[in-house]
Structure 1
Amino acid sequence: MESESGVGVHRVPWNKGKFTGQKPPLKLREIWAIRTRLQMASKVRELAMFNLAIDSKLRACDLTRLQVQDVRHGSRVASRATVVQQKTQRPVQFEITEQTRDSPEAWIEARGLKSADYLFPSRLHASPHLSTRQSARMVHRWVASIGLDDTAYDTQTMRRTRASLIYRRTKNLRAVQLLLGHTKLESRVRYLGIEVDDALEMAERTEV
């Protein structure tokens, strides 16, 4: 393409200098490294969000829209929660581990949040809750804080992490499908980085 002066105009590709394609999940030691740094820095909100992102395996758009009543029943954060996914309009259930329950509980108490409040309210008047862009910035900060290249990770990393750890232990694709709320095999293997042919073979072994 040339400008009116005849000088060529070179457009910079949108993905120059960026990693594209599937984002890797976090390793167990990386999870603990980030968690420890957030605890030491007393980042109560970010620790709650990090732990829930790992446990829930929710998309960023669903994680940021969580309300207190979604995870807390009565005076304590529940061991399980169910939310309707914004993308599929299908419910998905997830476990909230004992360690994770402590961090959102501390955040709710520190902020004085009520049952109908968003769990992660925005500090900006334009939005009642954190945006997916704000959550993405947090992910980049988290991974950069432990020396990882933050351009290789994003919110998809958080969604994939626990599912990938479970798959490595069990090789059970059906379990991962339920955990991620996927309806198609292709969706499962895309998040796990498995070849489709291998996935079909594994699925045949795990299906009852």
Structure 2
Amino acid sequence: MGYSQYDPSMQGRAPWNAGKTVGTKRPLTQKQIWAVRFFLDREGRLRDRALFDLAIDSKLRGCDLVKIKIGDLVAGDEVRTRAIVIQQKTGRPVQFELTNDVRASLLAWLELRGGSLDEHTFPSRVDRSNHMSTRQYARLVDEWVTAIGLRRAEYGTHSLRRTKASMIYKATGNLRAVQILLGHTKIENTVRYLGVDVEDALLLAERTEI
């Protein structure tokens, strides 16, 4: 429910987005990805390295990422090469790949973490039977990007979701493939999410010889 600007109770109250950058968060570059990995490895933060790597590869929203269970990622004594989850927002399944480096960091974390297949991969600090909160995940992302010299106002959890998708789009120009990978129901959502504009379209056209 909205409030009138003349409502006395709202006088002097700062807007929710005061001092915040509102809009699409920037994806990370390859160089920035490796900078974050170097920082986390140097600090010996196995959980955070696994969380960061999984966020990049899975391209999942934060609400889906934190709820992933060990059984979603593991088959026998190995980390899967592909996984599938049901998205909270759409109720639809989405698949994602797990590349070799990501599987290695996940395996290192899971060996340290232990636990059964029906437990969350990244448990809450407060209640080990529950998953990490999306707020905690967002705080971690703020910490990671700040550690490598980026402005946290320009980056967030959606930066990690967009990173690999943006790279795939730039390399291929295949919006339909990116739509599937992001789990979007409409390609228009993918266009908006990636920030595809006229300049992108013209560059793709210029690279196409007929």
Please report the TM-score for the alignment, with normalisation by the length of structure 1. 0.89
Task: Provide the rounded CA distance (Å) in 2 between the counterparts of 1:43 and 1:126.
Answer: 18
The within-5 A match list for 1:56-71 is: 56-71=58-73
The within-5 A match list for 1:179-194 is: 179-194=181-196
Unaligned segments of structure 2, at least 5 residues: 1-5, 205-210
Residues 82-134 of structure 1 show CA distances to partners (whole Å, capped at 9, x for unaligned) of: 11111111111100000000111111110112211110011112970101111
Displacement after TM superposition at 1:151 (Å): 1.3
Asked if the contact 1:189/1:196 (under 8 Å) is kept, the reply is no
Structure 1 residues 17 and 47 mapped into 2: Cα distance closer, same or farther (>3 Å)?
A: same
Instruction: Tell me whether 1:88 sits opposite 2:80 in the alignment.
Output: no
Identity of aligned residues (%): 52
Displacement after TM superposition at 1:39 (Å): 0.7
Structure 1 residues 197 and 146 mapped into 2: Cα distance closer, same or farther (>3 Å)?
A: closer
Query: In structure 1, what residue type is equivalent to 2:19?
Result: G
Query: In structure 2, what residue type is equivalent to 1:60?
Result: G
Task: Provide the rounded CA distance (Å) in 2 between the counterparts of 1:160 and 1:47.
Answer: 18
Task: Provide the rounded CA distance (Å) in 2 between the counterparts of 1:3 and 1:177.
Answer: 46
Task: Provide the rounded CA distance (Å) in 2 between the counterparts of 1:190 and 1:146.
Answer: 28
Unaligned segments of structure 1, at least 5 residues: 203-208
For residue 13 of structure 1, the aligned residue among 9, 15, 32 is: 15
Instruction: Tell me whether 1:125 sits opposite 2:127 in the alignment.
Output: yes
For residue 53 of structure 1, the aligned residue among 52, 55, 70 is: 55
Task: Provide the rounded CA distance (Å) in 2 between the counterparts of 1:140 and 1:85.
Answer: 24
Asked if the contact 1:83/1:92 (under 8 Å) is kept, the reply is yes
Moved over 6 A (4+): 196-199
The within-5 A match list for 1:34-183 is: 34-125=36-127, 128-183=130-185
Displacement after TM superposition at 1:139 (Å): 0.6
1:92 aligned counterpart, secondary structure: strand
Query: In structure 2, what residue type is equivalent to 1:151?
Result: A
Please report the TM-score for the alignment, with normalisation by the length of structure 2. 0.88
Asked if the contact 2:68/2:121 (under 8 Å) is kept, the reply is yes
Q: CA RMSD in A?
A: 2.4
Displacement after TM superposition at 1:183 (Å): 1.4
Query: In structure 2, what residue type is equivalent to 1:54?
Result: I
Displacement after TM superposition at 1:25 (Å): 0.6
How many pairs does the alignment contain? 199
1:163 aligned counterpart, secondary structure: helix
